[in-house]
């Protein structure tokens, strides 16, 4: 193959990857937003139950009703935001708190539903009241003694005797919504000078997007033998 043709292919390849680096973040962002809107609209569209479907849905050529018009989905989303804000304002007064307590008491007395409701409530309260949840990025020894994993402190537990254990969530990559929960002695964790947002970026990007100070990720293993001294 001639040299100029090799040069052309190399330049084309470089241009392609350069363009991909520029376009891919925007495409992924739009795709994620579209996915979120589609899944959220499946729920919020039900708020327009008081309107006739002939008004909110498309009419197909055969006379049947098709999917909802996109602009009505936006109206439903705005209505959902308004109702949530209204519930937040309503929940601040005494009567509303008593009504919520009654609803809470009723939900906890219904078999099966009380298990789901109680679990969701506990998780919600743990993140709304515990100020240390997902506020610290740490390094822990995982999955074996010669490796380290990036995790997030989620709470503190009492261990055997006077030992203090720290709950650390170790997310998977590139999907941080799943992962492992490990209990680690407080003395065995290495706190990183890194924000939670930087930690999530580091995990989602497979380690490609390092923090501003990558040296903070480096911590000597406790069981590593010291290098031999030079004679």
pLDDT value, residue 130: 52
As a whole number, mean pLDDT of residues 83-88 equals: 81
Sorting pLDDT into bands at 50, 70 and 90, what band is 225?
very low
Q: Out of 1.10.1060, 2.30.30, 3.30.70, 2.60.120, select the CATH number for domain 137-217.
A: 2.30.30
Integer CA distances (angstroms), 125 to 92, 97, 133, in order: 17, 16, 11
- What are the beta bridge partners of residue 12? none
DSSP state of 187: G
> Token digits for 59?
């009419």
Q: ω into residue 222 within 30 of 0, thus cis?
A: no
pLDDT tens profile 43-55: 888 888 888 877 8
The pTM of the full predicted model, rounded to 2 decimals, is: 0.43
* Separation CA 109–CA 166 (nearest Å): 33
The chain-wide mean pLDDT, for the chain, equals 75
Indicate the domain borders of the chain: 91-129, 137-217
Say whether 118 sits in a helix, a strand or coil. Answer: helix
- What are the beta bridge partners of residue 190? 139
The set of long-range contacts for 158-163, using a CB threshold of 8 Å and a minimum separation of 24, is 159/183, 159/185
pLDDT tens profile 19-45: 877 787 778 888 888 787 778 878 888
* Separation CA 174–CA 207 (nearest Å): 9
Sorting pLDDT into bands at 50, 70 and 90, what band is 124?
low
């Amino acid at each position: 193959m001639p040299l100029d043709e090799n040069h052309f292919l190399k330049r084309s390849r470089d241009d392609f990857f350069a363009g991909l680096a520029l376009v891919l973040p925007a495409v992924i962002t739009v795709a994620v937003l579209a996915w979120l809107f589609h899944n959220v609209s499946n729920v919020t569209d039900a708020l327009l139950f008081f309107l006739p479907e002939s008004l909110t849905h498309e009419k197909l050529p055969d006379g049947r009703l098709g999917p909802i018009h996109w602009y009505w989905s936006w109206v439903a989303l705005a209505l959902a935001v308004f109702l949530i804000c209204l519930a937040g304002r309503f929940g601040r007064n005494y009567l509303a708190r008593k009504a919520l307590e009654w609803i809470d008491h009723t939900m906890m007395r219904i078999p099966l539903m009380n298990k789901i409701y109680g679990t969701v409530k506990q998780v919600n309260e743990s993140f709304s009241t515990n100020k240390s949840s997902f506020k610290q990025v740490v390094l822990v020894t995982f999955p074996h003694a010669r490796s380290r994993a990036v995790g997030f402190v989620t709470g503190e537990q009492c261990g055997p005797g006077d030992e203090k254990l720290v709950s650390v969530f170790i997310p998977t990559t590139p999907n941080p919504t799943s992962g492992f929960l490990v209990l680690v002695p407080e003395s065995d964790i290495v706190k990183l000078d890194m924000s939670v947002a930087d930690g999530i970026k580091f995990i989602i990007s497979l380690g490609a997007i390092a923090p501003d100070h990558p040296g903070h990720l480096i911590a000597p293993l406790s069981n590593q033998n010291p290098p031999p001294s030079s004679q």
